[in-house]
């Protein structure tokens, strides 16, 4: 018998790409339980993309950055405070969509005995929350998450049923427009390039981005470089290497929501496997994504026919290595390959 729940805790704390991958599940969960109170537990730095009401009613925070700086006794105090907070909410269902030790601890101290998670529960989290598998356990991670929604009785049968509830970005759009104009943007279409990635093995070489930017600007196309503070050095190198007034470097100069607004306004998006890629996919932007060590069938852009994944021709592609002594997979994807796809997609309109 499928249970009805009134007070649900969803645990998904990081990272940016993982939060975005969970949005369709959150939308499906709300449709399944229209009258339930749904709370999302997240790290503060990723909270900007937790859906607004009516999809998510309340947001709770576990501040990992703060926690890691605390001494042992203060860490225990923080956990006790978190336990008291979670117990006070009286959840009747906890859904651990992180599937890691850190999320398992929080699920365990929630005060709720009814705990489930998705099929890939790691680091012992499966001992705390029941892993829910389904017919899509070998498919894209979004489908793996949606199997949990299906288990709960949600009807998600095709791509037409998949929704990405995105926040209102009108304020951020105005802010980004101002930053673009201050940086010399003359208006019109622009291509967004995000050169960074969480693993260095996923990054496309800076020299490749320079060659690609030269090809794009030679056609009169404006290029906006974007990303977090860690991408700023790469952005500067690409801008200096391209030496074109059509290249605008905003790496490290936008919030996450401003980055989403920047992508929302672009005509095309290009990057390797990184979080902002999933903004572009959710917004149905034409895009090219370069994949080497990671597997696009598991974490690639999802739900958009405008997405093109360019897989490395390297035989070792898809190894899932964060470190590599013979790293060449991303080098093997040439600027010419990316530019050719860009031209084809622009011609298609």
DSSP string covering 152-165:
TT----SGGG----
d(CA 326, CA 295): 18
**Angle at CA of residue 263, ends 19 and 145, nearest 5°:** 25
SS3 116: strand
| Token digits of residue 8 | 């649900």
pLDDT for res 112: 97
Instruction: List all residues 6 or more positions away from 329 whose beta carbon is below 8 Å from its beta carbon.
Output: 201, 292, 293, 312, 314, 316, 317, 319
pLDDT for res 208: 98
pLDDT for res 303: 77
- Among all chains, which residue has been given the structure tokens 């994944």? 309
Cβ atoms 255, 187 nearer than 8 A: no
Q: Which of 155, 166, 119 lies closest to 31, judged by CA?
A: 155
Using one digit for the tens of pLDDT, what is the confidence trace for 38-69? 999 999 999 989 999 999 999 999 999 999 99
d(CA 47, CA 61): 8
pTM, 2 dp: 0.86
Q: Is the dihedral of CA 279, 280, 282, 287 positive or negative?
A: negative
Q: Which of 146, 107, 99 lies closest to 126, judged by CA?
A: 99
Per the DSSP assignment, residues forming a β-bridge with 96 are 11, 117
- Separation of CA 180 from chain center: 24
What domains appear along the chain, each with residue ranges and CATH number? 7-161 (3.40.50.2000), 170-348 (3.40.50.2000)
* Residue-level pLDDT, tens digit, the chain, 349 residues: 568 999 999 999 998 889 999 999 999 999 999 999 999 999 999 998 999 999 999 999 999 999 999 999 999 999 999 999 999 999 999 999 999 999 999 999 999 999 999 999 999 999 999 999 999 999 999 999 999 999 999 999 877 788 999 888 999 999 999 999 999 998 999 999 999 998 999 999 999 999 999 999 999 999 999 999 999 999 999 999 999 999 999 999 999 999 999 999 999 999 999 989 999 999 999 999 999 999 998 889 987 888 999 999 999 999 999 999 889 999 999 999 999 999 999 998 7
DSSP code for 204: P
Q: Is the dihedral of CA 23, 24, 29, 32 positive or negative?
A: positive
């Amino acid at each position: 018998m499928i249970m009805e729940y009134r007070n649900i805790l969803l645990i998904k704390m990081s990272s940016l790409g993982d939060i975005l991958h969970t949005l369709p599940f959150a939308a499906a969960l709300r449709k399944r339980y229209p009258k339930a109170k749904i709370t999302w537990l997240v790290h503060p730095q990723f909270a900007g993309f937790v859906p607004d009401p009516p999809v998510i009613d309340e947001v709770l925070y576990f501040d990992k950055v703060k926690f890691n700086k605390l001494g042992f006794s203060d860490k225990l105090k923080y956990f006790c405070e978190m336990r008291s907070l979670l117990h006070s909410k009286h959840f009747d269902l906890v859904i651990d969509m992180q599937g890691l030790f850190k999320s398992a601890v929080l699920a365990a101290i929630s005060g709720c005995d009814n705990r489930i998670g998705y099929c890939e529960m790691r680091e012992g989290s499966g001992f705390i929350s029941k892993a829910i598998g389904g017919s899509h356990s070998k498919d894209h991670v979004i489908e793996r998450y949606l199997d949990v929604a299906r288990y709960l009785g949600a009807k998600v049968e095709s791509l037409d049923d998949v929704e990405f509830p995105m926040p209102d970005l009108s304020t951020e759009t105005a802010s980004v427009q101002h930053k673009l104009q201050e940086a010399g943007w003359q208006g019109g279409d622009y291509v967004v390039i995000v050169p960074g990635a969480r693993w260095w093995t996923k990054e496309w070489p800076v020299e490749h981005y320079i060659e690609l930017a030269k090809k794009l600007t030679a056609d009169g196309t404006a290029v906006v470089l974007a990303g977090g503070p860690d991408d700023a050095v790469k952005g500067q190198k690409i801008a200096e290497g391209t030496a074109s007034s059509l290249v605008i470097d905003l790496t490290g100069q936008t919030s996450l929501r401003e980055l989403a607004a920047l992508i929302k306004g672009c005509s095309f998006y290009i990057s390797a496997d990184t979080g902002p890629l999933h903004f572009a996919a959710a917004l149905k932007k034409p895009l090219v994504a370069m994949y080497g060590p990671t597997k696009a069938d598991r974490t690639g852009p999802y739900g958009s026919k405008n997405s093109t994944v360019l897989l490395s021709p390297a035989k070792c592609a898809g190894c899932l290595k964060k470190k590599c002594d013979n790293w060449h997979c991303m080098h093997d994807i040439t600027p010419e390959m990316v530019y050719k796809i860009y031209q084809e997609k622009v011609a298609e309109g």
